[in-house]
A and B are shown apart, each in its own frame.
Chain A
Amino acid sequence: DAEITQSPRHKITETGRQVTLACHQTWNHNNMFWYRQDLGHGLRLIHYSYGVQDTNKGEVSDGYSVSRSNTEDLPLTLESAASSQTSVYFCASSEFPTVSYEQYFGPGTRLTVT
């Protein structure tokens, strides 16, 4: 069955370190998204991609970057981790325009920055 996976599921890192969170989907979807979830804020969009070599900033993109070299993967990099980036991170994908706007989410990565 097609799915979307994230790794690692849990990560503890120190302030100032570079961290990369992986997202891999086997849906063959064009569109991929990264969100962060914090108490009181719901889910907020970090970056998104509509296809290979395409990346766009979301509402909370400062301190994060993404690259899209193939259809299946959209890794999220924290250039210099800060305590404010402690959060749960979700990756999602969708197959607009051929099917619908419906997004499917991965299981999440809990990141702690100490």
Chain B
Amino acid sequence: GIQVEQSPPDLILQEGANSTLRCNFSDSVNNLQWFHQNPWGQLINLFYIPSGTKQNGRLSATTVATERYSLLYISSSQTTDSGVYFCAVGAGGYQKVTFGTGTKLQVIP
């Protein structure tokens, strides 16, 4: 199956700082999502981005499918951005996805 690696595993930021989270995957994909798991455990959809670039407020994401990676950018971080960020990928005609082990982000005031 597809291998998914996320980096860094842990990240501490001062409020207002910018960051880039990376997701590498081992094979071609036609499904890639970024999620934020908040401190209460809820998984929140951030982006569905199998290729290209999307932006939503302070967050943006880019997937370069040919090079098998995706990046999540967080600008002007806020304490509410704290939590774990997951990348999930899938391939072929199937709906199954494989999750990375996540990047744990802590934003301190």
A binding-site residues for B, Cβ under 8 Å: 31, 33, 35, 40-45, 48, 50, 58-59, 88, 90, 94, 96, 100-105, 107-108, 110
Chain A facing B: main interface SS: strand
Across-interface contacts of A50 in B (CB, < 8 A): 95
Are the C-beta atoms of B86 and A42 separated by less than 8 Å? yes
Across-interface contacts of B66 in A (CB, < 8 A): none
Are the C-beta atoms of B41 and A108 separated by less than 8 Å? yes
Are the C-beta atoms of B96 and A45 separated by less than 8 Å? yes
Docked CA distance A102–B35 (Å)? 11
Is B24 close to A, CB under 8 A?
no
* Size of B's binding interface in residues, CB under 8 A: 22
Are the C-beta atoms of B48 and A41 separated by less than 8 Å? no
Are the C-beta atoms of B95 and A33 separated by less than 8 Å? yes
Is B56 close to A, CB under 8 A?
no
Chain B's closest residue to A99 (CB) is B48
Chain B 68-109, CB-CB to A under 8 Å as 1, else 0, gives: 000000000000000000101010000111111110000000
Across-interface contacts of A102 in B (CB, < 8 A): 31, 33, 45, 48
Chain B's closest residue to A58 (CB) is B96
Q: Are A103 and B101 also in contact (CB < 8 A) when A88-B41, A90-B43, A108-B41 are? A: no
